[in-house]
Amino acid sequence: MNSYIPQWRLSLTAGEHSARHIRRIVRSLLAEWGLSALCEAAELGVTELVANVVRHVPDRRCVVLVLRLEGGVRVEVADGAPQLRCPAAESDAEAEHGRGLVLLDAVVDKWGVGPRSGGGKVVWFECGAECGPS
């Protein structure tokens, strides 16, 4: 049995253009893994998670991890901030912010948040995965 899990990892200080570059990498990885059908959801998901780091994490430092799963992909964004912004139950249609996690929930198969080893949190999502860690 092959124990190798295809993955990509990047530690960075996120800026306003980081999500654009990470989307390109995610698109390339999914094409390489034969998962191009998942591109739109994965790109949107990673954009929202990186945007949340830029907006809400004081030092903007994070780690992005993209894992190939059986039939799908898992994307994790870890940062040092312990709090998670909860999706607004009812967001104002005119508001510029506050709908990212609601949108994430609408386009991915599952998502969640958990504590990060050493402090902070990991926000993750999966697309098209038949199985994977929760």
Q: Is the pLDDT of residue 25 over 80?
A: yes
85 burial (CB, 10 Å; 0-12 / 13-18 / 19+) is middle
The pLDDT value recorded for residue 101 is 83
The mean of the pLDDT values for the chain is 87
Q: Is the pLDDT of residue 131 over 60?
A: no
pLDDT tens for each residue of 53-103: 999 999 999 999 999 999 899 999 999 998 866 555 445 555 555 678 888
The pLDDT value recorded for residue 82 is 85
Q: Is the pLDDT of residue 134 over 50?
A: no
pTM for the whole structure: 0.85
Band (122; pLDDT cuts 50, 70, 90) = very high
**Higher-scoring residue by pLDDT: 71, 14:** 14
Q: How far apart are the first and last CA of the chain?
A: 22
Q: Is the pLDDT of residue 1 over 90?
A: no
- Among 123, 110, 104, smallest CA distance to 41 is for 104
